[in-house]
Amino acid sequence: MKKVRVVIWNEFVHEREEGAAGDYIRTVYPAGIHACLAEKLAAADLEIRTATLDEPGQGLPEPVLDETDVLVWWGHCAHDRVDDSLVDRVQQRILAGMGLVVLHSGHYSKIFRRMMGTGCRLRWREIGEKERLWVVDPSHPVAAGVPETFTLPHTEMYGEPFDLPDDGKIVFLSWYEGGNVVRSGVAFRRGAGKIFYFAPGHETFPIYRDANILRVIGNAVRWAAGTILPPRVTPQPEPSERVATENPLKELDTKELHNRKQGR
């Protein structure tokens, strides 16, 4: 059985902060959110590795990215530190078929906003209120084995309006104790790649230890895994059938034809 090659990327900043806030976060995720997810998602069909912002190549040098089937992304306070050149490479990899699972505050990451083509802004409130999730599309693979509804006792509220494009497939919807709602689990396709955004999760709450949350993320990883397409090496292929039509531009050289196509 071929394993799905998964990289769990985490900026790994909050977990190493000095002071009371960092000390508390380390009680929730002692080795970092990425390490917790890697441990909890471990399965026979997944080959999991972790990556962080401060590693060489910001955790995703070309050899690593080229061997990734699904990239799981968690970021919050260091979005601006991610190099645009890395975003370019991840985007091209997604368009070629790599899956992307974006968690919680990763909605505002450079790569998610790039792939959505929108600002991806939403409302938020951090007072530790209850969240109730509902499965909107029980037929979707990401919802497999997940209860129709379940709760998280304490969470950060993410609320509508959520600036997402209209082509997303809503799989989960969340209601919060304070009255807000949000599209909390949405699936997209970009090129040959699949993208799933999942809102629950915060560095100060043990949400990534909840069995239902872990099932959703595991399902999302398996759903997003696809076939990576080889680079297109023949942008100007020869005709596959005989062309008898007389070309009115045959007297023009190749360079001039190219310039016309580019509108020069």
Where do the domains of the chain lie?
4-224
Q: What is the pLDDT of residue 22?
A: 92
pLDDT in tens, 4-52: 999 999 999 999 999 998 999 999 999 999 999 999 999 999 999 999 9
Q: What is the pLDDT of residue 240?
A: 85
Positions in the chain short of pLDDT 50: none
Q: Indicate the fold that domain 4-224 takes in CATH.
A: Rossmann fold (3.40.50)
Q: What is the pLDDT of residue 123?
A: 98
Instruction: In whole angstroms, give the CA distance from residue 191 to residue 231.
Output: 13
Q: What is the pLDDT of residue 138?
A: 98
Q: What is the pLDDT of residue 113?
A: 98
